[in-house]
Amino acid sequence: MNTANIIVSILSGCAVCIPLVIKLVQYVSTAVKEKNWSNIVKLVIEYMTTAETKFTDGATRKEWVLSMVKASAATANYDLDDASLQKISDMIDSICSAAKTINTTTSANAADNTSK
């Protein structure tokens, strides 16, 4: 009887611990990906800067940056899936839009200052 109670206690403890371990592994995996996301963003900025001097066409620049990020993702210990690549593509578009806005505003302000 004593042995049966011990086995039941062990099994019930395992039944509680297994889902907790699974959640912990998922949490750690997510945390590692989020930590490495900043490395991917740094790579994207660096590659965008390089692409600016190498290519004249915006679509070619973006394609080159995405291919370089794919190739370099392993060095950042980051597994890129289709959703991540779409986020990176959207980020590139947003950075380009922001740069155009900033550059236009800066150019307009510089023109105003030189005419005074």
Given pLDDT bands bounded at 50, 70 and 90, which one contains residue 99?
confident
- Closest-CA residue to 87 (of 49, 46, 41, 43): 41
pLDDT in tens, 46-61: 999 999 888 888 899 9
Give the list of residues 6+ apart from residue 61 with CB closer than 8 angstroms, or none. 48, 51, 52, 54, 55
pLDDT in tens, 2-28: 888 888 888 787 777 777 777 766 766
pTM (predicted TM-score) = 0.63
Taking each helix axis from N to C terminus, what angle separates 58-72 and 2-54, rounded to the nearest 10 degrees?
140
Asked if 80 contacts 70 with a C-beta cutoff of 8 angstroms, the reply is yes
